[in-house]
Structure 1
Amino acid sequence: MSSTPVGMSSPQRRSFRWWHSLPVLLVLGVVITWSQMPGHGEETGAGSKHETASTTSKLGGEIPEVEVIHPRKGGIERTTVQPGSVYAFESVDLYSMVSGYLKSQTVDIGSRVKKGEVIAEIDVPREKNAVELAAAMLEQAKAKALQAAAKVDAMDAERETAVATVAQTEADIDRLSSSLRLAESQYTRIKSLFERNAVPQSVVDENLNAVQAAKAAEKTAHLTVQTAKAKLAGAVARVEEAKADVIEAQASVRVAETQLGKAQVDLGYAQILAPFDGLVTRRNFHPSAFVRAASAGGDQPLLTVVRTDLMRVVVRVPDRDVVLTNPGDPAVVTIDGIGSREFRGKVSRIADSEDHQTRTMRVEIDLENPDRLLREGMYGRATIGLETLSERLTLPTACVLERSGKRQGVVQVVRDGKVERIKVELGADNGTLVEIDSGINPDDDVVLRSKSVLEPGMTVSPKLSG
Structure 2
Amino acid sequence: MQTRRKIMLWLVPVGLILLFLFVGVLPRIRNQQELQAAVEKEKNRIVQVNTTIASRSDATSNLTLPGQIQPLRETPIYARTQGFLRKRLVDIGSQVKKGQLLATLDAPELDQDIIRAQTDVKLAKANLDRVESVSLPGAVSQQDVDNRQALYEMNQANLRRIEVLKGLQEIRAPFNGVITSRNTEQGSLISVGNTIPLFTISQLDTLRVYTDVPQSYYRYIQVGQTVEVRVPEFPGKVFSGKVVRTAEALRSQSRTLLTEVVIPNSTRELVSGLYGQVNFQLSQAEPPVVIPANTLWITPEGPQVMLVKDDNTLQVQRVEISRDFGTTLEIGSGLQGGERLVVNPSDNLQQGQKVQPRAPANAKMASANASH
| Alignment partner of 1:292 is 2:275 | no
Which shifted more, 389-398 or 342-351?
A: 342-351
Whole-Å separation in 2 of the counterparts to 1:314 and 1:439:
35
Q: 2:205 corresponds to which residue?
A: 309
- In the TM superposition, what are the counterparts of 1:14-163 in structure 2 within 5 Å? 66=50, 68-69=52-53, 71-72=55-56, 81-82=65-66, 84-96=67-79, 97-102=81-86, 104-151=87-134, 154=135, 158=137
- Contact kept in structure 2, 1:312 and 1:364, CA below 8 Å: no
User: Relative to structure 1, is the Cα distance of residues 301 and 291 closer, same or farther in structure 2, using a 3 angstrom cutoff?
Assistant: farther
- What count of residue pairs does the alignment treat as equivalent? 308
1:379 aligned residue (234, 252, 275): 275
Compare the two structures and name the one with the higher helix fraction: 1
Q: What amino acid sits opposite 1:99 in the alignment?
A: G
The separation in 1 between residues aligned to 2:168 and 2:341, in whole angstroms, is: 76
- Larger relative strand fraction: 2
Instruction: Supply the distance in 2 between the matched residues of 1:347 and 1:404 (Cα, whole angstroms).
Output: 45
- Worse overlay, 425-434 or 402-411: 402-411
Partners of 1:365 and 1:395 lie apart in 2 by 30
Q: Deviations over 1:95-128 (max 9, x none)?
A: 44231351x4332321100111112223444433
Deviation at 1:381, TM superposition (A): 4.3
Is the 8 Å Cα contact of residues 319 and 334 (structure 2) preserved in structure 1? yes
Alignment match, 1:423: 317
Within the candidate set 254, 259, 265, 2:158 is matched to 259
- Separation in 2, partners of 1:255, 1:249: 10
Unaligned runs of 5+ in 1: 1-60, 159-234
Structure 2-normalised TM-score?
Answer: 0.63
TM-score by structure 1 length? 0.52
The alpha-carbon distance between structure 1 residues 348 and 436, as it changes in their structure 2 partners (threshold 3 A), is closer
Structure-2 separation of matches of 1:141 and 1:362: 63
* Pairing 1:367–2:254 present: no
Q: Is the 8 A contact 2:205 2:266 kept in 1?
A: yes
Pairing 1:281–2:175 present: no
The residue type equivalent to 1:398 in the other structure is A
Cα deviations across residues 339-358 of structure 1 (Å, max 9, x unaligned)? Answer: 344444437454968698xx
Change (3 A) 1:400 1:434: farther
Cα pair distance change 1:284/1:444, threshold 3 Å: closer
Query: CA–CA distance in 1 between the matches of 2:162 and 2:359?
Result: 91
**Which of 144, 151, 157 is matched with 1:245 structurally?**
144
**Residue among 300, 313, 338 paired with 2:234:** 338
Please tell me whether residue 271 in structure 1 is matched to residue 170 in structure 2: yes
SS of residue paired to 1:373: coil
User: 1:138: how far off?
Assistant: 2.5
Contact 2:83-2:107 at 8 Å conserved across structures: yes
Separation in structure 1 between the aligned mates of residue 297 and residue 247 of structure 2, nearest angstrom: 38
Q: CA deviation at 1:72?
A: 1.9
Name structure 2 gaps, 5 residues minimum.
1-44, 366-372
Q: Structure 1 301/70 Cα, relative in aligned 2: closer, same or farther at 3 Å?
A: closer
Q: Which residue matches 2:40?
A: none
Shift of 1:390: 4.0
Mark the CA change 1:337 to 1:392 in structure 2 (over 3 Å): closer, same or farther. closer
Does the aligned pair in 2 maintain the 1:403–1:409 contact within 8 Å? yes
Cα displacement (A) at 1:273: 0.1
Match of 1:116, SS? coil
User: What is the alpha-carbon distance in structure 2 between the residues aligned to residue 149 and residue 65 of structure 1?
Assistant: 114
Q: Distance in 2 between matches of 1:408 and 1:428?
A: 12
Tell me the C-alpha RMSD between the 2 structures: 4.4
Q: Percent sequence identity over matched residues?
A: 21
- Could you tell me how far apart the structure 2 residues matched to 1:436 and 1:364 are? 24
**CA distance 1:126–1:376, shift in 2 (3 Å):** same
**Is 1:458 paired with 2:361?**
no
Mapped partners of 1:363, 1:447: distance in 2: 40
Per the TM alignment, residue 399 of structure 1 is displaced from its structure 2 partner at its CA by 6.2
Change (3 A) 1:436 1:322: closer
Query: Any conservation in 1 of the 2:228–2:280 contact (CA below 8 Å)?
Result: yes
Change (3 A) 1:246 1:71: same
Q: Is the 8 A contact 1:419 1:454 kept in 2?
A: no
- Cα separation, partners in 2 of 1:76 and 1:405, compared to 1, 3 Å: farther
